[in-house]
């Protein structure tokens, strides 16, 4: 007798058909599972995106079943290295309490990384929509490795997965790092907004290192202080920018709380970068009027879920 295939954790056609018609209850349920709407996405486009996701995940599953592996750009994952469902359960409460979502549908895999300090990575592709994430194989058997925690990595990457459609890059890392158990990482984890910021800091540090080597072996009379200016300037610029963004985010949360109360952080998690900066710039008494003017489907779902008097939270 042929064994029945396990039910896919992705939305079925009945759920997608309801979402396509703009059913707010269906959209709210999908939002709760980490299928967040894009900044200006309408119901048909949202349903089309999730159907594309189902199709691409099915292609991956067929490759895993047929070949035992699946290749995506420079990453190859194998069927035996699939992250088990129980690992998602470990972080569901953290994501739900912080941001009102719990993801159990995105494929995840253990891999042997090329880089020693690699912990995990969310792979998100648009417009040919597909998402998965990978974490280092060390976490298959252990909860911690170096300064990484498996639960923290999972929650961090699932935050990125949930916010795919918002195309955010300004506040993205700050949101993800709030899942950390470390107060230091919650405070400073979002300093590097983009990959280029990391390269800038490393380049400034290497400049200082090579400069000191040259002073030692070739130019001993050259003063040291000019060499320190480059990393000092890079650090000061990154710190100033991050402090400003943290101030904007804090102000936006306070303003959102005037309408959404304790759900303010969950609302901001669903905001675009522009939304957050606008909320931060408004006077507190201007927030309700601004929110009333937000008629996109995304904001309809936000109000459906998180307004204290009518949310489905």
**Looking at residues 105-121, what average pLDDT do you find?**
76
Q: Where does the pLDDT of residue 266 fall: very low under 50, low under 70, confident under 90, or very high at 90 and above?
A: very high
Query: Between residues 199 and 68, which one has the greater pLDDT?
Result: 68
Confidence of residue 243 (pLDDT cuts 50, 70, 90): very high
Per-residue pLDDT, averaged over 81-106, amounts to 92
Structure tokens at 311: 């949310």
Contact between residue 161 and residue 154 where contact means Cβ atoms under 8 Å apart: no
For residue 165, the 8-state DSSP code is G
- From the list 306, 298, 300, 313, the residue with the least C-alpha distance to 35 is 298
Question: What is the predicted pLDDT for the residue at 306?
Answer: 96
Backbone angles phi, psi at 123, to 5 degrees: -105, 115
- The Cα 308–Cα 262 span in angstroms is 9
Q: In this predicted structure, what is the pLDDT of residue 309? A: 67
Q: For residue 80, what is the DSSP state?
A: G
How far apart CA 307 and CA 313 sit, in angstroms, is 9
* pLDDT of amino acid 63: 93
User: Which pLDDT value is given to residue 169?
Assistant: 86
pLDDT band of residue 1 (cuts 50, 70, 90) is very low
- Residue 142 sits at φ, ψ, to 5 deg, of -130, 150
The closest of 158, 182, 183 to 172, measured between CA atoms, is 158
Contact assessment for residue 143 and residue 149, using Cβ atoms and an 8 Å cutoff: yes
Question: What is the spatial distance between Cα 170 and Cα 241, in angstroms, rounded to a whole number?
Answer: 10
Distance of CA 69 to the CA centre of its chain: 26
Provide the pLDDT for residue 115.
63
Let me know if 109 is exposed, middle or buried by CB neighbors in 10 A (0-12, 13-18, 19+): buried
**pLDDT > 70 in the chain, percent:** 91
Taking the C-alpha atoms of residue 199 and residue 197, their distance in angstroms, rounded to an integer, is: 5
125 pLDDT band, cuts 50/70/90, is: confident
Percent share of the chain, pLDDT over 90: 52
């Amino acid at each position: 007798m042929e064994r029945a295939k396990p039910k896919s954790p992705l939305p079925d056609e009945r759920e997608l058909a309801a979402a396509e018609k703009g059913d707010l209850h269906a959209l709210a349920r999908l939002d709760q599972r980490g299928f967040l709407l894009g900044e200006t996405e309408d119901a048909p486009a949202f349903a089309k995106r999730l159907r594309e996701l189902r199709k691409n995940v099915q292609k991956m599953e067929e490759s895993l079943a047929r070949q035992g592996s699946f290749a995506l750009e420079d990453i190859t994952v194998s069927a035996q290295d699939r992250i088990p469902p129980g690992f998602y359960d470990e972080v569901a409460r953290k994501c739900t309490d912080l941001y009102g979502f719990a993801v159990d549908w995105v494929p995840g895999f253990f891999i042997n990384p090329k880089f020693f300090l690699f912990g995990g990575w969310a792979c998100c592709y648009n417009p040919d929509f597909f998402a998965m994430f990978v974490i280092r194989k060390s976490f298959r058997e252990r909860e911690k490795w170096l300064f990484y925690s498996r639960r923290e990595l999972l929650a961090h990457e699932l935050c990125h997965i949930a916010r795919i459609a918002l195309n955010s890059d300004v506040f993205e890392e700050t949101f993800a790092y709030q899942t950390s158990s470390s107060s230091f990482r919650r405070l400073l984890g979002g300093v590097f907004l983009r990959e280029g910021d990391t390269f800038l800091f490393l380049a400034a540090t290497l400049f200082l290192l090579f400069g000191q080597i040259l002073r030692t072996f070739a130019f001993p009379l050259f003063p040291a202080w000019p060499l320190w200016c480059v990393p000092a300037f890079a650090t000061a610029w990154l710190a100033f920018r991050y402090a400003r963004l943290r101030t904007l985010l804090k102000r936006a949360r306070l303003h959102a709380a005037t309408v959404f109360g304790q759900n303010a952080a969950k609302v901001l998690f669903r905001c675009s970068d522009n939304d957050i900066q606008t909320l931060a710039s408004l006077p507190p008494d201007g927030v309700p009027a601004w929110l009333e003017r937000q008629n996109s489907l995304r904001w309809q779902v936000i109000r459906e879920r998180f307004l204290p008097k009518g949310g489905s939270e």
